[in-house]
Structure 1
Amino acid sequence: MAVDVHGGWYFCPQGAVHTAADGPSFTLPCNGVQLVAPGSDWVAWWWAQPRWVSIDVCRPVVVTSQCIDYVDLEVDLAWSPGGPAHVVDEDELAAEVVAGHVEPPEAQQVLALAASLQQRLQGGDPLFAEVGWRYLSALG
């Protein structure tokens, strides 16, 4: 792990198992690094194979010595270097609003943040286009 002005960088090797607070688990398909900043409303992953970035829009991140905790608000972004950035899973956010788990004003904030992150990805923001890849190369 490393820490810089952007937050904490966590290396996750291929095959590591991640378990969500509500129980589901998944096995990482390849090496990746995750950027987590306490209090941030998004977390990002840089994946090695194929090279792509994923971002989870979430409620503010809490980092303790035991875990990284955040509530995923369903909307995600996906971007491969040289390609367009995609905002996905807006339908899942809409379902959370209907179910009463997310209030409409929060959903509007989530969509606005996703649009802002999409612009950063497509605009070549150095954090996404350079810094994350350097950490993946160094930690992986």
Structure 2
Amino acid sequence: MKLLVLSDSHGSSGSILTALNKTSPDALIFLGDGLRDIRSVLEHRGDFPAFVVRGNCDLGAQEPAERLIELQGTRLFICHGHTYGVKSGTSEARAAAERTGAQVLLYGHTHRPECRRVGDLWVLNPGSCDRSGTASAGIVSLESGGILCYNIRINE
């Protein structure tokens, strides 16, 4: 199962569409700060499951600030990250993910792509899928009980 992970579109629904067309995912995870963008895209391209959380710029949104989802036996903790102070490090977000038994932590907010393993936990930030020349996304591949995470450039 291929998951496209996006965050921080900030008005750029076109970048979301580009990422979808480039990756053909089985499901989409959106980590906040652009809920209007993702809603607009899903109205036209809602042919796959989508899991969404709100970010600090999604004022008045009803979506949760964080979620634990399970796909193909893998637990993923998803959040925007601002409530865990991720601009200063991921230790609080990692601790929250580990408390839930998650194998993958997905967060945004910093606009900086990151993908690494910390112990048994995959930590992935897709960066920002805004209109900038450095628009990026994350991919989580769940195959045969294994997990693979990596970042991609959207506009290349």
TM-score (norm 2): 0.26
Structure with larger Rg:
1
TM-score (norm 1): 0.28
